[in-house]
Structure 1
């Protein structure tokens, strides 16, 4: 990964080498077993971890950090649900990454706690999941909660511009 890419993720200069090692693992694993959106989400997550002060990435095995990152993103996107595509079990993920499942899950729990990640975390949710998530589309209009997808296109555009609803077209284009 190039230094400019790491800078774009907001990764501090002193952590770029370490983050690059973690991202090389997540990138390879996501390309081999998941998809490009998982790659993107993992990059955002690692960037957020690198910006924490003090950053937890300074210690520990980079393979475990990478596995924990993918596991955490997988939890947000229901990777472990057989009805989803892509789908992997936690055992399959651990096996493909060459780590112990409980260690990977524990690292993901630490990541989730450190970054206060919840289900449908906007920056870490795939487009397919956002499309299905009803709360991502709820906005207040004249004191009423409404589904923004039912609003006129001008109001939808304004809601996207303000960051009130996801811009799925921009995500797909990226």
Structure 2
């Protein structure tokens, strides 16, 4: 499957639908359109534009030569696409907005949880997607996503880039190592003991 680096500070940085569609091979286009027809409907009705854009992008990555999505039910793949983006962003956590329980998501697509989960696992393994994956994080949550800011220092120690000098952050952002220069750096809770 085709892995893309997303790293979007805002939704305007994500590829538009026509760009995604053009990256899908012609013989995959019908499958892609069928998947996004279902994901778009759920995202518009129950989620938001960030989910809409990321699920379209994930569907575009999924609908590539060598993908397992050439077999099986379209609605299961569509559910798995939304579930995968939701899994990265903790969609089932009621403290998040928007949020959907897994059983609600299955009901919306008319699929079983086991089928959706199995296909989502195939997507995650095929694209090396992990929880909080900066490549699939909602742009509105990017600044608070700890994985987006982890960089290796010169001595091999992992650092939070939000704690580095602004000029270093700018260099890291220009090199594509961090998604953008954060507004105001890392917010520390409490004070350091003397």
Indicate whether the TM-score tops 0.5. yes
| Residue equivalent to 1:94 | 106
Higher RCO by CA contacts (8 Å cutoff, separation 6 or greater): 2
How many Å separate the matches in 1 of 2:17 and 2:147? 36
**Structure 1 residues 40 and 168: CA distance shift in structure 2, 3 A:** farther
2:26 counterpart residue number: 13
Tell me by how many angstroms 1:98 deviates: 2.1
Deviations 1:89-120 (A, max 9, x none): 00111112222222222221222222222112
Maintained 8 Å contact 2:80/2:117:
yes
1:132 maps to which of 144, 164, 171? 144
Runs (4+) off by over 6 Å: none
Q: SS in structure 2 opposite 1:139?
A: strand
| Change in CA separation of 1:114 and 1:2 when aligned onto 2, cut-off 3 Å | closer
**Per-residue deviation, 1:5:** 4.4
What TM-score, normalized by structure 1, do the two folds share?
Answer: 0.84
Gaps of 5+ in 2: 1-15, 183-194
Change (3 A) 1:41 1:168: farther
- Match for 1:148 among 129, 140, 161? 161
Higher helix share: 1
In structure 2, C-alpha distance between the alignment counterparts of 1:15 and 1:87, rounded to whole Å: 31
Question: Is contact 2:20–2:57 with CA below 8 Å preserved after alignment?
Answer: no
From the CA coordinates, give the structure whose radius of gyration is larger.
2
